[in-house]
Amino acid sequence: MIKRALASLVLSLAFLGAAAALRIVGAEQFTSWRHGNVVPKGDAGFFYMAAEGGFARAQGLDLKMFAFQNDTLMLKALLAGELDSYEGSPISPTIAGSKGADVKILGCSWPKLTYSFFSRGDIGSIADLKGKNVGISAPGSLPDFVARAMLRRSGLSPDDVKFVMAGGDPDRVRAIVAGTIDAAIATSDFAARSELGLKTLARAGEVLPQFLRVCVITRGDVVRGRREALVRFLAAEMSALHHALAQRDAVVVLARRIAGLSANDPTPEANFTEVNEQGSISPTLDIDQTKFSWLRDLLAEDGRLDGRFDPAALIDGSPREQALRRAGLPR
């Protein structure tokens, strides 16, 4: 407790000092940084805190946020040079990297899944989904692979269901309610909206504890050519997440504003509670090599890559180490 309090004090002093210094700097001095995330929902308070809470500007960055329907679209934008980084599942980068793409995984901000397998009330278990329609955002996306892995854990083959592209998390939930699909993976906080009548078949974090949710992804040329800006971006992310975990009201208010949620929508509060109770977020962007090896094996089982591929080739922890020092956070 004392160690965490001291870390918070150091972080606050560093943030205030940097902010004070930047007040005398013209806007033209800020370095542009383009960062991608999925379409905002109840967890947007965490994802947007660096940009909206002043942490990026304290690091001298003009951080622009771009929203995408799924991880595969973010990877395409990154490889096309339209983004400098994004936060998303390591699945697509691992597959692409195994085939020669110049992608780098820098650390993981959400090392645990905060997803549930939802259905309508007339479906009793995951095993009952045989022959049913399961909504995903896109083939190869995180919801797709989480659904496939959970089906297998329940004794079903992915071939036993029909996968339907049904948009982002809010879209998939609406499709369940409307009856156009039978089930889908979505963030667990939707269970707090009782009026939707969703049934939680299983929580992904309990069934798949090794499954990483979100990591920070960039290109190799960004690491090589824009390292200083990259380190400042990572430091801003770390400081923002460290701050957000202790600021429930600020996170909830920001999520409502960014995602356009009503004042009585309980998902931001539900998400904040789950994140803190489950330890779903890592402000230090931890790297657990065993989880990447587990993911490699899962993807190899699905025929997406060669099981001999070493995911360590994609991981570069050195910018993270520099960012930890810059943000004043313990390793």
Q: Is 82 found in the same domain as 230?
A: yes
**Would 97 be classed as within a structural domain?**
yes
Co-location of 91 and 123 in the same domain? no
12 lies in some domain: no
| CA–CA distance, 194 with 82 (Å, rounded to integer) | 39
Residue owning tokens 């504890």: 209
- Long-range CB contact pairs, 73-82, < 8 A, 24+: 73/138, 74/36, 74/37, 74/38, 74/217, 75/103, 75/217, 77/36, 78/36, 78/103, 78/217, 78/218, 78/219, 79/103, 79/219, 82/34
Note whether residue 233 is domain-resident.
Answer: yes
Residues 52 and 195 reside in one and the same domain: no
Cα 244 to Cα 5, 46, 60, 250, 318: the distances in Å are 15, 6, 20, 7, 24
Pair (65, 173) in one structural domain:
no
What CA–CA distance (Å, rounded) separates 71 from 90?
9
- Domain with residue 168: its CATH number is 3.40.190.10
- Please report, as a single letter, which amino acid is at residue 39: V
19 within a domain of the structure (yes/no): no
Domain total of the chain? 2
| Alpha carbon distance 202, 59 (integer Å) | 41
Answer yes or no: do 136 and 95 share one domain. no
Let me know: does 185 contact 115? Beta carbons within 8 Å. yes
- Say if strands 183-187 and 199-203 run parallel, antiparallel, or are unpaired: unpaired
Where among 180, 207, 234 does a domain terminate? 207
Which secondary structure element, helix H or strand E, spans residue 197, and what is its range?
Answer: none
The strand pair at 31-38 and 61-68 is best described as parallel
Domain end, chosen from 157, 173, 207, is at 207
Strand runs labelled E in the chain: 31-38, 61-68, 85-88, 103-110, 115-119, 133-136, 162-165, 183-187, 199-203, 214-219
**183 and 238 together in one domain:** no
258: Cα separation from own chain's centroid: 16
Domain membership flag for residue 14: no
**Is residue 166 in some structural domain?**
yes
CA distance 267 to 257: 13
pLDDT of residue 98: 97
The residue from 207, 228, 245 where one domain ends is 207
Whole-number pLDDT of residue 6: 41
Residue 59 makes CB contacts below 8 A (sequence gap 6+) with 18, 232, 233, 235, 236, 326
> What token pair was written down for 179?
């009856």
Name residues whose C-beta falls within 8 Å of residue 234's C-beta, 6 or more positions apart in sequence.
Answer: 106, 107, 216, 285, 319, 320, 322, 323
Residues with Cβ within 8 Å of 202's Cβ and at least 6 positions away in sequence, in order, are 116, 117, 126, 150, 154
Residue 22 lies in a domain: no
Residue 28, pLDDT score: 60
Tell me: do 75 and 220 sit in the same domain.
Answer: yes
Per-residue pLDDT 10s for the chain (331 aa) are 344 444 444 444 444 444 444 443 445 699 999 999 999 999 999 999 999 999 999 999 999 999 999 999 999 999 999 999 999 999 999 999 999 999 999 999 999 999 999 998 889 999 999 999 999 999 989 999 999 999 999 999 999 999 999 999 999 999 999 999 999 999 999 999 999 999 999 999 999 999 999 999 999 999 999 999 999 999 999 999 999 999 999 999 999 999 999 999 999 999 999 999 999 999 999 999 999 999 999 999 989 999 999 999 999 999 999 999 999 988 7
Residue 297: its H or E element: helix 289-301
Range of the domain at 101: 27-112+212-327
Same domain, 60 and 179: no
Place of tokens 């009503």: 262
Residue 175 maps to a domain: yes
Pair 203, 133 in one domain: yes
Residues 50 and 92 in one domain: yes
Report how far apart, in Å, the C-alpha atoms of 180 and of each of 165, 251, 267 are: 11, 33, 23
Find where tokens 């962007």 sit: 285
Asked if 92 and 216 sit in the same domain, the reply is yes
Q: Are residues 310 and 276 in the same domain?
A: yes
